[in-house]
């Protein structure tokens, strides 16, 4: 059996951060309204329905975000991958909104910091393979 530390290092070493096309925004959406085409994720919160939508579908004042897919089959029972990713970005003062899917983890960062974020995550991945 592998330890959580080994599993985390293996997941980091195996990730291939890839910037996805398009810009997105986190929004609160009316519960009875039809979702915009291209909606990426949803979350029901006490305050209302949150969606990640194409930026064009967001209200004025929304922050344009880019999605970085980590491209590693992360385990739903894995420990530490999102912590390592968000910590690396936090050290560079880059806000990170983590979204876990069944197969992959995704990081939403402000559009103007997306290229820098990919470089940081690529460096993190390279350090885990050494």
Per-residue pLDDT, 5: 47
Per-residue pLDDT, 114: 98
128 and 106, same structural domain? Answer: yes
Query: Low-confidence residues of the chain, pLDDT below 70?
Result: 1-6, 73-79, 129-130
Per-residue pLDDT, 130: 62
93 and 30, same structural domain? Answer: no
| pTM (2 d.p.) | 0.88
Phi, psi of 113 (to 5 degrees): -120, 10
43 and 7, same structural domain? Answer: no
Per-residue pLDDT, 11: 83
84 and 52, same structural domain? Answer: no
103 and 45, same structural domain? Answer: no
121 and 76, same structural domain? Answer: yes
83 and 29, same structural domain? Answer: no
116 and 54, same structural domain? Answer: no
95 and 53, same structural domain? Answer: no
- By the 10 Å C-beta count (0-12 exposed, 13-18 middle, 19+ buried), 103 is classed as exposed
Per-residue pLDDT, 10: 82
- Alpha-carbon torsion, ordered 86, 62, 48, 32, to 10 deg: -130
| Domain region containing 35 | 24-61
87 and 32, same structural domain? Answer: no
Per-residue pLDDT, 60: 84
- Alpha-carbon torsion, ordered 20, 26, 31, 37, to 10 deg: -30
Total number of domains in the chain = 2
């Amino acid at each position: 059996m592998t330890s959580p530390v080994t599993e985390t290092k293996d997941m980091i070493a195996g990730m291939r951060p890839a910037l996805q096309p398009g810009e997105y925004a986190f929004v609160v959406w009316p519960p009875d309204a039809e979702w915009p085409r291209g909606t990426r994720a949803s979350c029901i919160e006490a305050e209302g329905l949150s969606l990640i939508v194409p930026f064009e579908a967001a209200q004025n004042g929304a922050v344009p975000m880019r999605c970085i897919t980590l491209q590693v089959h992360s385990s739903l029972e894995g420990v530490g991958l999102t912590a390592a990713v968000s910590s690396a970005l936090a050290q560079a003062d880059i806000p990170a909104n983590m979204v876990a899917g069944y197969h992959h983890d995704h990081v939403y960062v402000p559009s103007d910091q997306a290229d820098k974020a990919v470089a940081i995550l690529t460096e993190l991945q390279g350090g885990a393979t050494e």
